[in-house]
């Protein structure tokens, strides 16, 4: 089911984070699970006997329920694919029925209705203080017309920003850098490159990063 689920989610313009594709190669799986749970606004649990018997999957949903113990934000969405004995902490939640013989159209409508609110408002995480200081410095230099001085500051911050899950800032730094390159050096080639990179990060574009995704498929 997960391949079909992933395809249908991303065709709706939503971003998804899934283990077999989005885990960083060489990174410990437990850290990647934690990254997915922490950065996604919704987590989908595909409930089957294999899932409920898996210690890794149990760890996964415990991580999530640590962030939202009573699921008041509806962050956790159980999808029942096969009848199984659900843990008490999951059985208390209303699931979406994807079992054989269930109304599949209703199930998909319920799922996308639940995910709709996640896509509506991008979440912005606060920046680390040291990065924010440097970005403020670059902003001040640009306001003073010192674009050439702002360029190395922005270039230095770009790889640090890309390690974070803050899409809005990743886009803004690229746009600011493109503008500074154009104003200071008339460097249209690199300016266009950073503009294109910023566009690729914009929600709705086909080449988006997998961070800050609305659905983590477990």
Q: pLDDT tens, position by position, for the chain (218 residues)? A: 667 888 898 888 888 888 888 998 998 888 888 888 878 888 898 999 998 888 877 777 777 777 777 788 888 899 999 999 888 878 888 999 999 999 999 999 999 999 885 554 445 567 888 899 999 999 999 889 999 999 999 999 999 988 887 888 888 899 899 888 888 887 788 888 888 888 787 654 444 434 344 455 54
3-state secondary structure 50-91: HHHHCHHHHHHHHHHHHHCCCCCCCCEEEEECCCCCCCHHHH
Q: Output the CA torsion sign for 194, 199, 202, 205.
A: negative
Rounded distance between C-alpha atoms, residue 104 and residue 101, angstroms = 8
Q: Output the CA torsion sign for 80, 122, 134, 201.
A: positive
State the pLDDT at residue 211.
39
Tokens at 61, concatenated: 């949903």
Of 4, 8, 5, 15, residue with least CA distance to 204: 15
Q: Domains of the chain by range and CATH?
A: 2-122+210-217 (3.40.50.10140), 129-201 (1.25.40)
Contact 35, 216 (CB under 8 A): no
Of 204, 190, 201, 205, residue with least CA distance to 154: 190
pTM score, whole prediction: 0.54
Neighbours of 19 (CB within 10 A): 16
- The order of strands in the sheet holding 76-80 is 16-18, 215-217, 43-47, 76-80, 96-97
State the pLDDT at residue 49.
92
Q: What pLDDT, in 10s, does the model give residues 164-195?
A: 878 888 888 998 998 888 888 877 888 888 88
Rounded distance between C-alpha atoms, residue 119 and residue 13, angstroms = 9
State the pLDDT at residue 148.
93
Tokens at 120, concatenated: 């509506």
State the pLDDT at residue 215.
53
Q: What pLDDT, in 10s, does the model give residues 111-122?
A: 999 988 555 444
State the pLDDT at residue 210.
40
Rounded distance between C-alpha atoms, residue 206 and residue 32, angstroms = 23
State the pLDDT at residue 190.
83
Q: Is 18 exposed, middle or buried (0-12, 13-18, 19+ CB in 10 A)?
A: buried
Query: Which single residue is written with the structure tokens 């640590």?
Result: 66
């Amino acid at each position: 089911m997960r391949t079909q689920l992933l395809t249908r989610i991303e065709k709706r313009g939503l971003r998804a984070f899934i283990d077999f594709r989005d885990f960083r190669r060489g990174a410990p799986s437990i850290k990647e699970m934690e990254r997915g749970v922490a950065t996604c606004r919704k987590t989908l649990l595909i409930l089957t006997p294999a899932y409920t018997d898996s210690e890794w999957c149990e760890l996964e949903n415990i991580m999530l329920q640590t962030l939202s113990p009573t699921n008041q934000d509806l962050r956790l969405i159980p999808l029942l694919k096969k009848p199984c004995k659900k843990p008490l902490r999951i059985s208390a939640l209303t699931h979406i029925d994807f079992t054989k013989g269930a109304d599949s159209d209703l199930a998909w409508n319920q799922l996308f209705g639940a995910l709709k609110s996640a896509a509506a408002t991008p979440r912005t995480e606060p920046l680390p203080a040291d990065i924010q200081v440097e970005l403020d410095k670059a902003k001040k230099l640009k306001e003073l017309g010192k674009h050439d001085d702002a360029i190395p500051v922005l270039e230095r911050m770009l790889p640090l920003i890309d390690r974070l899950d803050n899409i809005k800032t990743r886009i803004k730094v690229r746009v600011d850098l493109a503008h500074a390159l154009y104003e200071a050096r008339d460097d249209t080639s690199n300016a266009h490159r950073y503009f294109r990179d910023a566009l690729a990060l914009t929600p709705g574009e086909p080449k988006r990063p997998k961070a800050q995704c609305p659905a983590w498929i477990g």
